[in-house]
């Protein structure tokens, strides 16, 4: 792991890159296989630093935007090497009526991603949110709800068998204090819904990595400890779990320190699972000042550095890359500008700061060989 002083060096180098963006981009462009790429080849640089991928979430409504699509698929796999559908594999999209399955939206993202040599993180199979009316309004006994869950997972994972690097099997099942969230699943089935979901996913696609995914587990604390206990408990029961997704929806200037993110990742990998940064974004108050955007670049770089530093951190996914499509302003009024590009597809300093982290790791041979 790098010492804090080395992080400072990285920060200073990043600062230098901001001062001379044209020269910086030119030097990065030499490494990019696609010479027309207008920004650093983040996925290629991540791979040179030892990660499996650098990727992004996307959603179906933005795909017809030609400029957006150029950045998402046209520059793949140089810029982004991995995609997560933000909504179209969720329960309300995939099983809108009981036992009637619809894969149109998910396929519209996964197929072009695979065609552009990207890998897919598939999201998600069990959540308290975005469930269809028939499911939330029904009154289910324990056995029936278990079979509904198993049937959903068998069908959806079966449809995408062989296409997903990973599935977020269970999403956000914990409260911030580490207790189980009271929801449709827990209130009827109890904590057993989690091993049941993982078992069903394992049976339907033996090769997909099976993840637990949550927010506020990016630094040590009650919720992270509870997620670690969940991993241990599943493993003790002989249930396959391969990874933990650290969502990483951060606020500029308030992100966990490098040391705490690294220590937290290592607490998970010590249990025999990989970790991934699955939904990274850094929101700031709007309108954003230059200082906030500079801080945001440092914050993005800190999380990229943490992943580079930890042997079992396989990659980072940003939760969409262009501000015009970010979920943030709709959920946190007064906040936004959370993504790597502004609404005109102009790269923010965070693009260069992340690239710098990967380049330094590759140049200093601090990378791990994980591919």
Binding residues vs ligand 9MR (CB under 6 A): 59, 86-87, 129-130, 171, 247, 279, 327
Q: Which two tokens stand for residue 260?
A: 């705490």
Q: From CA 322, how far away is CA 174, in angstroms rounded?
A: 29
Q: Reply yes or no on whether 67 is catalytic.
A: no
Quick check: 314 and 370 in contact, CB under 8 A?
yes
Reduced to 3 states (helix: H, G, I; strand: E, B; else coil), residue 296 is helix
Quick check: 362 and 48 in contact, CB under 8 A?
yes
> Whole-number minimum distance, CB 305 to ligand 9MR, in Å?
23
Which is nearer to ligand 9MR, 59 or 242 (by Cβ)?
Answer: 59
- Letter string b/e over residues 124-137, b meaning 16 or more CB atoms within 10 A of that residue's CB: bbbbeeebbeebee
> Whole-number minimum distance, CB 328 to ligand 9MR, in Å?
8
Closest CA to 105 of 156, 177, 37: 156
Q: How far is CA 79 from the centre of its chain?
A: 16
Q: Tell how strand 274-285 and strand 335-336 pair up.
A: antiparallel
> Could you tell me which residues come within 8 angstroms of residue 288 by beta carbon, excluding any fewer than 6 positions away?
296, 336, 337
Quick check: 357 and 307 in contact, CB under 8 A?
no
Q: From CA 331, how far away is CA 328, in angstroms rounded?
A: 5
Which is nearer to ligand 9MR, 91 or 300 (by Cβ)?
Answer: 91
Annotated catalytic residue within 95, 218, 279, 292: 279
Quick check: 274 and 312 in contact, CB under 8 A?
yes
Reduced to 3 states (helix: H, G, I; strand: E, B; else coil), residue 220 is coil
Beta-bridge partners for 287: none
> Whole-number minimum distance, CB 197 to ligand 9MR, in Å?
16
Q: From CA 235, how far away is CA 140, in angstroms rounded?
A: 29
Which is nearer to ligand 9MR, 128 or 140 (by Cβ)?
Answer: 128
Beta-bridge partners for 120: 83
H or E stretch at 124: strand 119-126
Q: From CA 245, how far away is CA 315, in angstroms rounded?
A: 10
Q: From CA 312, how far away is CA 308, in angstroms rounded?
A: 9
Which is nearer to ligand 9MR, 214 or 359 (by Cβ)?
Answer: 214
Which is nearer to ligand 9MR, 44 or 283 (by Cβ)?
Answer: 283
> Whole-number minimum distance, CB 38 to ligand 9MR, in Å?
26
Which is nearer to ligand 9MR, 27 or 60 (by Cβ)?
Answer: 60
> Whole-number minimum distance, CB 267 to ligand 9MR, in Å?
21
> Whole-number minimum distance, CB 58 to ligand 9MR, in Å?
10
Which is nearer to ligand 9MR, 73 or 319 (by Cβ)?
Answer: 319
Q: How far is CA 315 from the centre of its chain?
A: 8
> Whole-number minimum distance, CB 270 to ligand 9MR, in Å?
25
> Whole-number minimum distance, CB 84 to ligand 9MR, in Å?
9
Q: From CA 51, how far away is CA 211, in angstroms rounded?
A: 18
- Write out the catalytic residue numbers: 279
């Amino acid at each position: 792991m790098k010492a804090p002083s080395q992080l400072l060096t990285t920060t200073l180098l990043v600062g230098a890159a901001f001062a001379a963006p044209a020269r910086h981009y030119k030097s990065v462009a030499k490494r990019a296989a696609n010479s027309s790429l207008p920004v650093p080849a983040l996925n290629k640089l991540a791979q040179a630093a030892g990660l499996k991928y650098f990727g992004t979430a996307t959603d179906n409504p933005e795909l017809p935007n030609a400029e957006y699509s150029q950045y998402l698929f046209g520059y793949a796999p140089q810029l982004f090497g991995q995609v997560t559908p933000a909504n179209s594999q969720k329960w309300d999209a995939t099983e809108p009526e009981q036992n009637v399955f619809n894969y149109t939206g998910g396929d519209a993202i996964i197929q072009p991603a695979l065609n552009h040599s990207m890998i897919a993180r598939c999201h998600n199979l069990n959540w308290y949110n975005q469930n269809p009316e028939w499911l939330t309004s029904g009154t289910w006994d324990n056995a029936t709800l278990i079979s509904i869950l198993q049937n959903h997972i068998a069908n959806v994972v079966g449809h995408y068998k062989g296409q997903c690097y990973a599935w977020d099997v269970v999403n956000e099942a914990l409260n911030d204090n580490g207790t189980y969230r009271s929801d449709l699943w827990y209130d009827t089935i109890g904590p057993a819904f989690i091993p049941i979901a993982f078992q069903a996913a394992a049976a339907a696609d033996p090769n997909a990595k099976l993840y637990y995914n949550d927010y506020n587990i990016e630094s040590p604390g009650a919720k992270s400890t509870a997620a670690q206990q969940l991993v241990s408990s599943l493993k003790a029961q002989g249930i396959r779990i391969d990874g933990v997704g650290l969502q990483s929806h951060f606020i500029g200037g308030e992100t966990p320190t490098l040391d705490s993110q690294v220590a937290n990742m290592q607490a998970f990998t010590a249990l025999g699972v990989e970790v991934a940064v699955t939904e990274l974004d850094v929101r700031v108050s709007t309108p954003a000042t230059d200082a906030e955007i500079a801080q945001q670049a440092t914050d993005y770089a800190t999380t990229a550095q943490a992943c580079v530093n930890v042997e079992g951190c396989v990659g980072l996914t940003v939760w969409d890359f262009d501000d015009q499509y970010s979920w943030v302003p709709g959920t946190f009024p007064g906040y936004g500008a959370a993504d790597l590009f502004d609404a005109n597809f102009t790269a923010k300093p965070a693009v260069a700061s992340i690239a710098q982290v990967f380049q330094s790791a590759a140049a200093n041979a601090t990378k791990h060989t994980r591919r």
